[in-house]
Amino acid sequence: MTDDPQAPGEFGFIARHFAPLAGPEGLGLGDDAALFRPSAGMETVISADMMVEAVHFFPDDPPDLIARKLLRCNLSDLAAMGAVPRGYLLAIAKPDRLHDAWFSEFARGLATDQATFGLTLFGGDTTRSTGPLVLSLTILGDVPAGAALRRSGARPGDSVWASGTIGDAALGLLARQGKLPDPDGMLRDRYLLPHPRMGLGLAVRDIAHAAMDISDGLVQDAGHLARASNVRITIDADCVPSSAAARAAGGDWLETRLTGGDDYELLLTCPADRTDALLAAASASGTALTRIGAVEPGQGVVVLDQAGRGISFARPGWQHF
Amino acid sequence: MTDDPQAPGEFGFIARHFAPLAGPEGLGLGDDAALFRPSAGMETVISADMMVEAVHFFPDDPPDLIARKLLRCNLSDLAAMGAVPRGYLLAIAKPDRLHDAWFSEFARGLATDQATFGLTLFGGDTTRSTGPLVLSLTILGDVPAGAALRRSGARPGDSVWASGTIGDAALGLLARQGKLPDPDGMLRDRYLLPHPRMGLGLAVRDIAHAAMDISDGLVQDAGHLARASNVRITIDADCVPSSAAARAAGGDWLETRLTGGDDYELLLTCPADRTDALLAAASASGTALTRIGAVEPGQGVVVLDQAGRGISFARPGWQHF
């Protein structure tokens, strides 16, 4: 590593685009590794997410939004555990066809969201790809020792809640593909730039029984939570919050909304006697929170229509392969 | 995530190959993130390395060796800081053409080296690649707070040392490409499977002034250390330790040996009054350590021949792009 932005190859590339993003833990991106210390009494929450060109984003998506989506997908995992973000490592497999102008925009997106979410770059790796651009981000956050929200804490009698609105990003992907009208671009924006619920995760950490982020489709993700907690989750389809833009897209999209990916909302369960505290916490964090179902003894996920009849879907959510 | 190895898609894939590798920090690979706590008084050392098919390894290299090299490249970064490995996160972009048999071997390699080096899988991500297999590993280790070895500690008057032998892996790559005879396969083995110097890194942590791992070519990496410490490093070419197999390859390969990548040996500097302690520590860790040069006031790296004349090379080391 060098701090000369004019240096050839990867060293100048890192100096130009990434050294300005590094925090003190990154040691100037000039050592073999980063040094990280959790704050006193805290433990470290760590998650990794990889995004592949033409799989997770379109080659002509704006580079700054690709960067911010990558960071925000990982931030959403921290939110789900009730953690405060600290920093991240970023590995990039870079095709030769992508040049400085692209990565300058990409780094600008990272800088924007570093400021928004209060974290810095700790380190990473840059290398060459013979195929698509591949981005791999590992995020680190702090949570008081033993206090992390888990998927395994749901208990029969809990209510089930979802933040924000569900399905906009899946509809936004269809809009991005020209398969759905999206006059004001609101759905597409939700696909391009998720809004991780950091404040909500923190606010409900000592109230919710279980939490996870909804990233691969509500029904599939609820299934993961049900399984981890060894319970059954029933969801009232009509209660699942939808945006005005999603409603304008019509009722035929129910399956897309409930099984589509990229929401990055939070799914929570809450004991009956803590409902008021949950709603107060959500309100204090400025996040809409909607009751969408209940936790029961049993297994799996059941989605009910207005008449209380089960609805079945062709697939419960996004499969990465 | 599910623990059903028969489940379709990524969930069964993770259950079959990776869930058995997870440590307690990984929470069964079934939560949004891992939870990690450094041991008391320690801080966390973190590094990330990415390997791309047809860039860092051959498509027909044995999958278990690809896995072990990936892990060992990252372990070498911990060794350079004097850290003890704890765990890792692994992100995989998987081309459709690679099937279960391949990943079964790959996971077997990880299991082997997890046992050898004492670490476990904390988490990660699996997704689809439309191009090459891309592997991104983030490693975490423990070091006593404030005790990590750094590149920036070299001082004029220090001696410069290299572990093991230098250049075997670069020659092994040529042998792998059929450009060099390698009758007993020793050079190729050094290319395929590095030996990170964990014991040496720990043993010299309180003795050496500076350390880094030699991964992209001795001359280039020495330049990084010189720059981080604001000193000049002189290297006596004749002192750079070579293996019998490398010597059998002849003297024409000096440039390849001194500027080739993939050694994963350690480069150390040591104050004059600590030479005996350094050699005793190296001996106790069972690692060969050879004095190859000196630290002087100034900048950059100078490689000297037997007559004390400077040798120049076309390029100092491996450039990732």
A125-147 pLDDT per residue, tens: 999 999 999 999 999 999 999 99
SS3 B100: helix
CATH 3.90.650.10 fits A151-311, yes or no: yes
DSSP state of B237: G
Q: What is the dihedral of CA B161, B165, B170, B173, to 10 degrees?
A: -150
B80 vs A32: CB contact, 8 Å cut-off? yes
Q: Nearest CA to CA, how far is A222 from chain B (Å)? A: 11
> From CA A35, how far away is CA B41, in angstroms rounded?
13
Chain A residues within 8 A of B320 when measuring between CB atoms: 9-10, 126-128
Joined tokens for residue A37: 């210390």
Helix (H) or strand (E) holding B105: helix B100-117
Q: Where does chain A have alpha helices with state H?
A: 9-17, 63-81, 100-117, 168-176, 186-192, 198-203, 218-229, 244-248, 254-259, 275-284
Q: Supply the Cα-derived Rg of chain A in whole angstroms.
A: 20
Helix (H) or strand (E) holding B281: helix B275-284
B136 vs A145: CB contact, 8 Å cut-off? no
Residues of chain A with CATH 3.30.1330.10: 9-144
Q: Residue A2: pLDDT above 60?
A: no
Average predicted confidence (pLDDT) for chain A: 94
CA nearest neighbour of B132 among A142, A285, A39, A127 = A127
| pLDDT bucket at A40, cuts 50 / 70 / 90 | confident
Q: B135-145 pLDDT, tens per residue?
A: 999 999 999 99
Residues of chain B with CATH 3.90.650.10: 151-311
Using DSSP bridges, classify how beta strands A232-236 and A300-304 pair: parallel, antiparallel or unpaired.
parallel
A127 vs B55: CB contact, 8 Å cut-off? yes
A46 vs B33: CB contact, 8 Å cut-off? yes
A47 is in an annotated binding site: yes
A77 is in an annotated binding site: yes
The CATH T-level fold of domain B9-144 is 60s Ribosomal Protein L30; Chain: A; (3.30.1330)
A318 is in an annotated binding site: yes
Q: Residues of B forming the annotated binding site?
A: 32, 47, 49, 56, 77, 124-125, 151, 213, 215-216, 262, 318
Q: A164-174 pLDDT, tens per residue?
A: 999 999 999 99
B37 vs A43: CB contact, 8 Å cut-off? yes
Q: Nearest CA to CA, how far is A253 from chain B (Å)? A: 24
Q: If you average pLDDT over residues B87-115, what whole number do you get?
A: 96
Q: Residues of B forming the annotated binding site for ATP?
A: 124-125, 151, 215
Q: Which residue is it, tokens 């698509």?
A: A132
Q: If you average pLDDT over residues A277-300, what whole number do you get?
A: 98
For an interface test with A, the pick among B11, B29, B32 (most A C-beta atoms closer than 10 Å) comes out as: B32
- Chains A and B: how many Cβ contacts under 8 Å? 249
> From CA B317, how far away is CA B222, in angstroms rounded?
10
Q: Nearest CA to CA, how far is A183 from chain B (Å)? A: 32
Q: CB burial class (10 A; 0-12, 13-18, 19+) of residue B108?
A: middle
Among B31, B76, B123, the residue with its CB nearest the CB of A48 is B123
A49 is in an annotated binding site: yes
Q: Nearest CA to CA, how far is A178 from chain B (Å)? A: 22
A48 vs B124: CB contact, 8 Å cut-off? yes
A136 is in an annotated binding site: no
B130 vs A54: CB contact, 8 Å cut-off? yes
Q: B30-58 pLDDT, tens per residue?
A: 888 999 998 888 999 999 999 999 999 99
**Per 3-state DSSP, what percentage of chain A is helix, strand, and coil (rounded to 5)?**
40, 25, 35
Using DSSP bridges, classify how beta strands B265-270 and B210-214 pair: parallel, antiparallel or unpaired.
antiparallel
Q: B261-320 pLDDT, tens per residue?
A: 999 999 999 999 999 999 999 999 999 999 999 999 999 999 999 999 999 988 888 777
| pLDDT bucket at B5, cuts 50 / 70 / 90 | confident
Q: A215-258 pLDDT, tens per residue?
A: 999 999 999 999 999 999 999 999 999 999 999 887 679 999 99
Percent of chain A exceeding pLDDT 70 equals 98
B321 vs A151: CB contact, 8 Å cut-off? no
Q: Nearest CA to CA, how far is A248 from chain B (Å)? A: 32
Chain A residues within 8 A of B138 when measuring between CB atoms: 46, 48, 89, 91, 138
Q: Nearest CA to CA, how far is A71 from chain B (Å)? A: 14
* Model pLDDT, residue B4: 76
Q: If you average pLDDT over residues B167-182, what whole number do you get?
A: 93
A50 vs B78: CB contact, 8 Å cut-off? no
Q: B217-276 pLDDT, tens per residue?
A: 999 999 999 999 999 999 999 999 999 999 998 767 999 999 999 999 999 999 999 999
Q: Burial code of A81-120, b = ≥16 C-beta within 10 A, e = fewer? A: bbbbbbbbbbbbbbbeebeeeebebbbebbbebbeebebb
